[in-house]
């Protein structure tokens, strides 16, 4: 029997995107959590960064948003000038109190009560998607199911025309998949090639097309964002287009990839399908486990605003500090059997939506609802659904993306 060996620290490079094409490097993260929980990672063409990988450490850092700032250098690994940070600053990259104002402005559209009204719509949509798709027998689950549901719901919520959804999905792919050749062609091969677009969100030229689209909508005055208002305060045009871009990308791609990871996990763990079929009331805990298992966003970056010591390492003011949610969600110090996919897992206080800080995912209630209803409607098909080929992963250390997941349906529903 082959015995898995622990990787050498000197072999670990979290900027090596080819590794992320192959797998999420859980072996690397375990080694880091165990032996180098605050780890310096060199970066070709960049300044290098500290990787923080333990659950409790990330939580502690998140609780100090002014010491580990999102606003000073942005939330991506890019090395940006203050002007570039300001030009691309969305809600995600702001510190309190600026963040607090904007978050209050948009919060009310995303409370549990506010999103509950979409439940029937989500159910009807996923039902019709499944009824239409299953008779095809062999199909790409990502293309036919995971891409469709979140974007159609977002179109409803934001008031964008339904027929534009593939345009928006495509722009989102190019923005978040800015290191994936299948999405951006030869334009970008590496993070360092992106510097000419550093003033744009995700250092991507696709942001300009998304801005134009958003401002076109502003003329129509149809989106909930434009209608966001608190005590007479409204979004400026610049805030509006950045927030629009954030919502389209954060609301669509995350949920999509979570569904694709979810179907992969279920079809690779058929005992969990049997358990769910026998106990459909587990769909709520199963949805939460799928969100933990997928951890669609691997990391966000912060910048230290003062010198800090962590696990004997001297973090200097101005250093980049990366919070690896992916690693926190498999931290054996916090979760029992974290490498096991367990649809009945409780408690399950995972970090897939962030945790402990002001940036906790605005869309978490919507995402939870979508995944739960999706699973409830998918359940009757699951016993006859099978993996049917290689899963294709995105080339990214930022998004845990799945490009394709071929499946086969043998049932008669």
Residue 248 binding ligand HEM, by CB under 6 A: no
Q: Which of 395, 343, 411 is nearest to 188 (CA)?
A: 395
* Closer residue to ligand HEM (CB): 51 or 134: 51
Q: Is 103 in the site for ligand HEM (CB under 6 A)?
A: yes
- Identify which of residues 79 and 95 has a Cβ nearer to ligand HEM in the complex: 95
Least distance CB 258 / ligand HEM (angstroms): 4
First CA to last CA across the chain, in angstroms?
Answer: 42
Query: Under the criterion CB under 6 A, does residue 246 sit at the interface with ligand HEM?
Result: yes
Joined tokens for residue 275: 């358990």
- For residues 62 to 81, the per-residue mask of contacts with ligand HEM, x marking binding by CB under 6 A and - elsewhere, is x-------------------
* DSSP assignment letter at 5: P
* 235 makes contact with ligand HEM (CB under 6 A): no
367 binds ligand HEM (CB under 6 A): yes
Q: What is the CA radius of gyration of the chain?
A: 21
- Residue ranges in 306-325 that form contacts with ligand HEM under rule CB under 6 A: 325
Listed residue (251, 260, 296) closest to 151, CA to CA: 251
Contact string (CB under 6 A) for ligand HEM, positions 140-169, x = contact = ------------------------------
> Which of 315, 352, 375, 382 is close enough to bind ligand HEM by CB under 6 A?
352
**φ, ψ at 324 (rounded to 5°):** -95, 90
- Cβ burial of 141 (10 Å; 0-12, 13-18, 19+) is buried
**Rounded Cα–Cα distance for residues 318 and 81 (Å):** 12
**Beta strands at 233-234 and 229-230: parallel, antiparallel or unpaired:** antiparallel
Tokens read off for 293: 């298992």
| Euclidean distance between CA atoms 289 and 348, whole angstroms | 7
What single-letter DSSP state applies at residue 1? -
92 near ligand HEM, rule: CB under 6 A: yes
Q: How many residues bind ligand HEM (CB under 6 A)?
A: 27
Stretch that binds ligand HEM, among 220-228, 253-261, 333-341, 401-409 (CB under 6 A): 253-261
Residues of the shown chain interacting with ligand HEM in the complex, contacts defined by CB under 6 A: 62, 91-92, 103, 246-247, 250-251, 254-255, 258, 291, 296-297, 300, 325, 352-354, 357, 359-363, 366-367
């Amino acid at each position: 029997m082959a015995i898995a060996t622990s990787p050498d620290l000197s072999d670990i490079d979290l900027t090596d995107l080819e590794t992320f094409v192959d797998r999420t490097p859980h072996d690397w993260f375990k080694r880091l959590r165990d032996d180098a929980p605050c780890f310096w990672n060199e970066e070709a063409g960049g300044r290098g960064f500290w990787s923080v990988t333990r659950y409790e450490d990330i939580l502690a850092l998140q609780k100090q948003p002014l010491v580990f700032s999102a606003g000073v250098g942005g939330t991506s690994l890019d090395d940006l000038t203050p002007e570039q940070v300001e030009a691309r600053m969305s809600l995600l990259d702001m510190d309190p109190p600026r963040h607090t104002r904007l978050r209050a402005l948009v919060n009310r559209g995303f409370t549990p009560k506010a999103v509950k009204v979409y439940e029937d719509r989500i159910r009807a949509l996923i039902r019709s998607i499944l009824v239409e798709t299953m008779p095809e027998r062999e199909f790409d689950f990502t293309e036919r199911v995971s891409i469709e549901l979140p974007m159609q719901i977002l179109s409803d919520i934001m008031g964008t025309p339904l027929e534009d959804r593939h345009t928006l999905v495509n722009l989102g792919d190019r923005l978040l998949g800015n290191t994936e050749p299948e999405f951006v062609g030869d334009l970008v091969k590496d993070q360092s090639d992106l510097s000419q677009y550093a003033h744009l969100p995700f250092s991507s030229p696709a942001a300009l097309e998304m801005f134009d689209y958003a401002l076109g909508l502003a003329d129509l005055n149809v989106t909930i964002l434009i209608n966001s208002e608190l005590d007479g305060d409204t979004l400026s045009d610049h805030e509006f287009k950045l927030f629009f871009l954030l919502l389209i990308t954060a609301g669509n791609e995350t949920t999509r990839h979570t569904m694709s990871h979810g179907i992969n996990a279920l079809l690779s763990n058929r005992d969990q399908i049997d358990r769910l079929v026998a106990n459909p009331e587990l769909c709520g805990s199963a949805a939460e486990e799928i969100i933990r298992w997928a951890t669609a966003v691997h990391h966000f970056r912060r910048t230290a605003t003062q010198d800090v010591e962590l696990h004997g390492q001297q973090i200097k003011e101005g250093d980049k500090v990366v919070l690896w949610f992916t690693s926190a969600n498999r931290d054996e110090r916090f979760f029992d059997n974290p490498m096991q996919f367990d649809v009945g897992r409780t408690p399950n206080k995972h970090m897939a939506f962030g945790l402990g800080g002001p940036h906790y995912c605005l869309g978490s209630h919507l995402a939870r609802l979508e995944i739960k209803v999706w699973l409830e409607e998918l359940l009757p098909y699951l016993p006859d659904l099978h993996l049917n080929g290689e899963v294709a992963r995105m080339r990214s250390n930022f998004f845990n993306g799945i490009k394709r997941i071929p499946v086969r349906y043998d049932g008669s529903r």
